[in-house]
Amino acid sequence: MVLAHDINAIPRTRDVQISYNITFDNMLLAQETLNGLKKSGFFKPSPIQLHGIPLGKCGFDLLLEAKSGTGKTAVFSIIALEKIEPKKGLQVVILAPTREIAAQICDVIKLIGSDYKDLHVEVVMGGLPVQEDIEKFKKNVHIVVASPGRLRHLIQDKYIDTTSVRLLILDEADKLMEKSFQEDIKNIISFLPTQKQVIMSSATYDETAKMFIKSYVQNAQHVCPESNCVLLGVDQKVTEVKYNCNIVKQTQNRFQEVIKIFSKMSFKQCLIFCNYQARVSEIHKLLLRANWPAEQLSGNQEQTDRLEALKTLQQYKCRILIATDLAARGIDASNIDLVINFEPPFEWQTYLHRIGRAGRYGSYGMAVTILSEGVEAKKFHMMLDPMKDTINITNLWCNNNTFHEDISPKSPCPDVDKSCGTPQSNTQIEKACNELWKILVSDEEIIKNNKVESFENLCKSFDESSPGIETFHELLQSFENDDGHAEIDKGLRVLQFFGASKVQVPYNRLRRQI
Ligand code: ADP
């Protein structure tokens, strides 16, 4: 099954493009991972994948920060898969704030990990019978993806043995740092070994989240390919409707606007966000009555119905999904090209996450926020004030509408390397590794002064002391058991290779984590 986006099928923005001729084949990944990536349609890494995967494989704590839909899930999925030792027990714990995201991550890992023999990945989540989750742990599970509440329950009641956990991943980490999750997360962490790698992933981190995150990671490497947090491919619009103090009439005004948008715009799939559960079912009914088939997704539905609604969206079986902010984060459906905020969200972070559902993996789409004239419109613009230099919001009906007419990217998407997936000669690999080295070593001075060896030389020097090094893992293992200074030097050079001067984590920390 293909999971990745076909990057040649439609134009992509710079958000997911790298200018270097690097494919996953050149990233020193295990053959099983490469096979899984190929089967799932992944060839060229996105910026966050290019920078995050090698550092994560080195064992560093990571703070991944990249725009929605630019490939963060694959970063931590690959790192997790490459850590697994089949004979050991549970080694990776992945937490996600919603059950839908947890289910989605589990699917991604299973697909990319499809070539790993005897790999067991499970998802556990509230809302489904607990006995089913207990049964899952009667066999050896290597990776568990979970919503915090259910995992805490299973760990506390000793259904899950956590003694061999070496990697903890928090997806949508800023959300998980919110008060409502803190108790569960602290409790889960208290059951995990202290020596472990921690990876946090999100498109946004506010100051409060950063403060909490600090207490969970040690000298984390912050991997953030671009400072602008707004997706280049999402055309942001607002449209104002008449204010009415009667909420029923106000909802009708907004609904008429939705119908107007649907009848005037062409779109493949649309996600409508409402602030309240009751509004979701109300709009759902209104749409069906107006002959616009739609599905709904909100927290008051049965878990099986929630997962089903999401599947119909992802499998392109429905064109319109109405949802609460339950669907604002993490949800990946490649054909969504229109997001409508039926009412504006309360925080700018939620706004970014919502509009990030369009424009997946650098594709083009539109986000329309419906505002009622006056106070609400003013509040919305004030809320986005901190980002005023980076976002451009225009009026939907005033401007010449460019939707689906002029959506060509500013810089054309380069051709995919046609040699992907075919065996490469050693010189090709060496060349590509050297390229990778140049990208990762971001400190120009270090390169100029030749303070960091070329990858080729580095491998050679390892080869002399330990012949036959072919994989990244072997490279690391080659200095794992030695205590001499020379070996530590080599270790540091490997670290420099992957992160240059920014890497400050002491070598012995790396050693403990391998
Ligand atoms: P994020 O976690 O940053 O929100 P995802 O990991 O969900 O983004 O990726 C968004 C979409 O892009 C997914 O459908 C994923 O399969 C696809 N994708 C990720 N990396 C690549 C890649 N290197 N090439 C093609 N498609 C990719």
C-alpha–C-alpha distance, residues 57 and 55, integer Å: 5
Homologous superfamily, domain 14-223: P-loop containing nucleotide triphosphate hydrolases (3.40.50.300)
- Cα–Cα nearest to 88, from 108, 112, 118: 118
- From 25, 361, 363, give the residue whose CB has the most ligand 1 atoms within 8 Å, as the site to mutate: 361
User: Phi/psi of residue 212, each to 5°?
Assistant: -70, -40
Residue 296 in contact with ligand 1 by CB distance below 6 A: no
Digit-coded pLDDT (tens) for 63-99: 999 998 999 999 999 999 999 999 999 999 999 999 9
Residue 360 in contact with ligand 1 by CB distance below 6 A: yes
pLDDT for the residue 464: 55
Q: Which two tokens stand for residue 452?
A: 């960091």
Mean pLDDT across the chain, nearest whole number?
82
Q: CB–CB of 201/64 below 8 Å?
A: yes
Residue 78 in contact with ligand 1 by CB distance below 6 A: no
Sheet of 197-202: strand order equals 121-124, 143-146, 92-95, 167-171, 197-202, 62-65, 221-223
Terminal-residue alpha carbon distance, the chain: 32
Query: Could you tell me how far CA 243 lies from the centroid of its own chain?
Result: 38
Please give the distance, rounded to the nearest whole angstrom, from the Cα atom of residue 20 to the centre of ligand 1: 18
pLDDT for the residue 390: 83
95-97-101-103 Cα dihedral, nearest 10 degrees = 60
Q: CB–CB of 140/120 below 8 Å?
A: yes
pLDDT band at 493 (very low <50, low <70, confident <90, very high): low
* Chain region(s) in the chain for CATH 3.40.50.300: 14-223, 234-413
pLDDT band at 500 (very low <50, low <70, confident <90, very high): very low
Please give the distance, rounded to the nearest whole angstrom, from the Cα atom of residue 172 to the centre of ligand 1: 15
What is the mean predicted confidence (pLDDT) over 267-292?
Answer: 96
Residue 202 in contact with ligand 1 by CB distance below 6 A: no
pLDDT for the residue 454: 46
User: Phi/psi of residue 220, each to 5°?
Assistant: -65, 145
Buried-exposed string 14-34: b where 16+ CB fall within 10 A, e elsewhere:
bbbbbeeebbbbbbbbbebbb
Residue 69 in contact with ligand 1 by CB distance below 6 A: yes
C-alpha–C-alpha distance, residues 353 and 101, integer Å: 13
For domain 234-413, give the fold: Rossmann fold (3.40.50)
Q: CB–CB of 303/125 below 8 Å?
A: yes
Q: What percent of the chain has pLDDT over 70?
A: 77
Residue 421 has pLDDT above 60, yes or no: no
| Ligand 1, atom nearest to 24 Cα | 23
- The closest residue, in CA terms, to atom 27 on ligand 1 is 4
